Amino acid sequence: MKKGFGSYQNKAVFLDRDGVINRERGEYTFKIEDFEIMPGVIEGLKKLKGFNYKLIIITNQAGISRGLYTREEMNSCHQFFNDQAQGIIDAIYYCPWHPTKSRSIARKPEKLMFERAIHQYEIDPSKSYMIGDKDRDLLPAKKLGITTCGITNEFDYADIVVGNFEQFVEKILKS
């Protein structure tokens, strides 16, 4: 018999990639030399890990289906980041599909990537957070009962709004 969300005990921080972990460039980021890690992110992730949060990146990577870059190039950026973060990222879920190429239920604002992570890591959504820089990042988390945090913008689906990742970490650790 499958477990439901109610029996899961782990807590997690779900993170959008572009605009949260690395600087949003206004174009696809798939080269290591363009992958500029935002200030305070690695230090903040280490603090969260010290409080036993699972750290899970959830990202749309539509440039793959558009033929602009390969999965291998994207994976190189992810490996670079996880190396910089000393391997503390538990998982990275990505959707390679662009809406003009495929209507994927994995692509945010749908919730499939979140549901996969919740089941794989036995995460309790009520003890977890999602941080993103767009409403489409937050909507699936909101639907699943995850506390949502918008970074640097106004949001319809944010429970919390912060100016940067360091403020996000402070708010979580105080609650």
* CATH number of the domain encompassing residue 89: 3.40.50.1000
- In the annotation, is 137 catalytic? no
Give the annotated binding-site residues.
Answer: 16-18, 24-28, 59-62, 95, 107-108, 133-134
165, two tokens: 């990742």
Give the annotated binding-site residues for Mg(2+).
Answer: 16, 18, 133-134
In a domain, 21, yes or no: yes
Give the annotated binding-site residues for substrate.
Answer: 16-18, 24-28, 59-62, 107-108, 134
Block residue for tokens 């994207």? 74
In a domain, 2, yes or no: no
In a domain, 107, yes or no: yes
Looking only at Cα atoms, what is the longest distance across the chain? Answer: 47
Tell me which of 16, 90, 135, 137 is the catalytic residue: 16
In a domain, 1, yes or no: no
pLDDT digits (tens, 9 = 90+) for 30-61: 999 999 999 999 999 999 999 999 999 999 88
In a domain, 3, yes or no: no
pLDDT digits (tens, 9 = 90+) for 139-163: 999 999 999 999 987 788 999 999 9
Could you give the percent of the chain with pLDDT greater than 70? 91
Tell me which of 18, 90, 135, 137 is the catalytic residue: 18
User: How many domains does the chain contain in total?
Assistant: 1
- In the annotation, is 34 catalytic? no
Alpha-carbon span 110 to 89, nearest angstrom: 22
Cα-Cα-Cα-Cα dihedral sign, residues 160, 39, 49, 33: positive
Domain extent at residue 78: 12-174
Residue 101 has pLDDT above 80, yes or no: no
